[in-house]
Amino acid sequence: MFRRLLSSITLMVVIIAGTILPGVTQAVPHSPNEVPPSRTFAGSRTFSETGHTISNYFYQKWTSTPNALFVYGMPISQPFIEESFTNPGEFYRVQYFERAVLEEHPDNTAQYYIQGRLMGSRLVSSRQAETPFKPVADPKDGTYDGVSKHTLRDSPAPFRTFYNNNGGLTVFGRPLSEQFQEVNKADGKTYWVQYFERQRMEWHPNQPNPQYRILLGLLGNEYRDINHKSNQAFTAGAALPPELSGANNGGATAPPKPVNTGGIAYGVNINLSEQDSGIDRKRSLQMTRDAGLGWVRFMVYWKFQQDISREVKWGELDAKVNDAHAAGIKILVTVAKSPAWATANGSDGMPRRENFGDFNSFLSQVATRYKGKINAYEVWNEPNLAHENGGRVAGAAYYMDLLVGASQAIKAADPAAYVVSAGPSSTETNLSSVAMSDLVFFEQMFSDPRFKQHVDIVGAHPGGAANPADTCPGGKPSPAEGWTNNSEFFFCRVEDVKARMDKYGINKPMWVTEYGWATPNHTQNYRFGNQTSYEEQAQYIVQSLELANTKYSPWLTGLFLWNLNYSVSDEIAKKKTGRYGEDPFYAYSIINADYSPRPAYNAIKAYLKR
C-alpha cells in the first residue's frame, strides 16, 4: 500500500474443430447479452439409499436429463471442489453420481453451466494405439462423427438409438471408439461395448427386460474408489455447502452468513526472511505474540518459489510457516508476483491467461503442503496498480478470472482456508499506465456474480497519510497539512468500500490487510510522514482498533497493521549500501532496528491486553 501511495499522489464449452456442439471441457465467457443461471434455490432431492442430496443447478441438470436415474445414477457425494484431470490447474465444483461426475462451470451460460466430466476420456487415455480407438474412415452413411472420427451405429448393438433417446451429445459426449467386444472384469463375460467422452456403453442382449439390455459404466463409483477413500464429501448425510442450501422461504436462497473469523483478527505485516533480510524470525514472532497480535501477514512471491523448471523451492517458506505456526500465530499470506516465464512481457505482473493453470497449480501445492497452518490466502496484491501487473492496469474483470481459479485451487486443497480478495491500493488516480481508482475496481469486482461464490473475505488497503484514524473529509477535520482533500488518504476509506459492498449485496466481512502511519523519514514521496511523531502514530493506530470495535463493527473483522519489523531489515540494508531503500518501510514499523518497542507497539499491547 505504502509503496503504491506514490502512484495515488502523483498520478467446459470449448469448440472442438469448429463444431458448435457441447461435449468438451473449457468454458466460454459470457457475451454482454448472455445471462448466467439463476442462483435462486430451485429445489432438491435427498436419496435415502445413499444419504446424499442434489440441489440447485446440479438438481436442475439431473431433472432435465432424460432417464436421469439410469443415466447418472444416484448421488454418492455432496458437492466439493476438485482439480480437473483433463485440464490440470483448473478447479471446478463437482458432485459425484454412481455413473457420472457433474461439474459446475461458473463462466458458462445457463445451458452449459453444469457439464458431465469426461470420465470416458480418462478411461481410454492410454488406449489410443488399440485398434477400436484408432480413427476410421467416413462410411458416408450418416453415422460418422467428423470430430472424433468414429461412427455411432445400431449394429451390432443398438447404441445409436440409446444415445439419441437419453440425452445424446450433452450427456455422453462424442464416440471415442468403434463398437468392439471386451471382457467385463466384474463377471468375466464378453460383451459388445463402445466408449464415449463421458461414458462406456455395454450391450446385454439376453436381458429379459429391454430397459437393461444397454448398461452404463459405474464410472463415478470407480473413480471414487480409486481417488476419494477418505474424502468426507462422500460420507452419507454430509452437509450441503452454504451456497447450495436453501431456506424454507418460498424458494429463495437464504442470505449468506458472514465468515466467522472468531472475532477481530488482529494482525501485523511482518518480515520473516532470515536469509535475505537478516531478520531474527523467532524474536519477531515472539514480539508479535507479546503484543497480543494473533495473526501475521507476509508475502509469498510466486517468482521466488517456482522457476522455469516448475519445481517449487520450499526452503525458507517452510521455515516461515512452521515457525509462525509453532508460535501459535495464525497466518495470512498474500500470493503475488509471477515468474517471468508466466507473463506476456517477462515482468512479475499477473500471469497471462495461458498460465493461469500454472498459478492455480502452484496455489494447490502450497495449500496442500500447509493445510491447517496457513489460515487465509489473499490472492494478489493491489491489482489496481499498473506496476503490480507488469506496467499496465488490467482491470477487475481480468483479476476476477484469475481469482476464481485461484480460489477453487485453494479450496480444493484446504476447504477450511479463507480466500481474501486482493486489497486494491487506495487511490483516485485513473490512468492506465499508473492506476485505477480502488473504488472503481471494487465496483467492478462486486458487480461480478462470481465474487460472492469464490471470496470469503473482502480485502482493503485504506490510506492514512498524516490523518488521524478518526477523521474524514466532510466529517471531523484533520490537523494534517496536505493529503486531506479526499478519502483516499484516510482510514475512513473503508466506509466508501462498505457502501459499495452494500450496493451489490456483498454480505461478507472486510479485512484491512495493509494500513498504517509513516513517521519521519528521508524519502521525498513519503514526506507526509514527517508530520506524524511516534506518539501520534501510536494514537492513530489505537483509534483504528477502537473504530473496528465500535463504528465499524461487526463488518470490519480483520486489521493487519503495516508493519512490525521492516525497520530491522532496512537498517541492515543501509549498513550495506549506505542508504535506506526507496520505500521507507522503516518509517511505518512499530519497533526499532534494535528490536526495542516504539510507542505504537506499547500502545497496541496495552489496548489488546486490557
Model confidence pLDDT, tens digit, residues 526-545:
999 999 999 999 999 999 99
Share of the chain above pLDDT 90, in %: 67
184/191 Cα distance (integer angstroms): 7
- Report the chain's C-alpha Rg in angstroms: 28
Q: How confident is the model at residue 372 (pLDDT cuts 50, 70, 90)?
A: very high
E strand or H helix at 574, and its extent?
Answer: helix 566-577
pLDDT of residue 582: 58
Question: What is the chain's length?
Answer: 610
pLDDT of residue 255: 34
543/557 Cα distance (integer angstroms): 15
Please, are residues 297 and 513 in contact by the beta-carbon 8 Å criterion?
yes
Q: How confident is the model at residue 31 (pLDDT cuts 50, 70, 90)?
A: very low
Least confident stretch, 53-67, 104-118, 214-228, 396-410: 104-118
pTM greater than the 0.85 cutoff: no
Helix axes 281-290, 315-326, angle to 10 degrees: 30
Average pLDDT for 430-458: 94
Specify the domain boundaries for CATH 3.20.20.80 within the chain: 2-9+259-609
**Beta strand spans in 321-405 (E):** 330-336, 376-379
* Residue 351 DSSP symbol: P
Mean pLDDT of the chain: 86
CA-nearest of 394, 408, 503 to 455 is 408
Least confident stretch, 251-255, 354-358, 537-541: 251-255
Q: 335 versus 309: which is more confidently predicted?
A: 335
Please, are residues 295 and 330 in contact by the beta-carbon 8 Å criterion?
yes
CB-count exposure of residue 182 (10 Å: 0-12, 13-18, 19+): middle
pLDDT of residue 529: 95
525/584 Cα distance (integer angstroms): 9
Tens of pLDDT, residues 566-603 = 998 777 766 666 666 556 889 999 999 999 999 999 99
Strands 265-269 and 556-561: parallel
396/186 Cα distance (integer angstroms): 52
Average pLDDT for 24-52: 54
Q: How many CB atoms lie within 10 A of CB 271?
A: 25
| pLDDT > 70? residue 41 | no
Angle (CA) 543-548-549 rounded to 5° is: 100
Average pLDDT for 93-117: 85
pLDDT of residue 213: 93
489/120 Cα distance (integer angstroms): 57
Share of the chain above pLDDT 70, in %: 86
Tens of pLDDT, residues 390-405 = 888 888 999 999 999 9
Please, are residues 292 and 604 in contact by the beta-carbon 8 Å criterion?
yes
Q: What is the CATH number of domain 2-9+259-609?
A: 3.20.20.80
For residue 39 the three cell numbers come to 442462483
CA-nearest of 261, 284, 287, 283 to 604 is 287
For residue 140 the three cell numbers come to 458416408
Question: HSE on the CB side for 106, CA within 13 Å?
Answer: 21
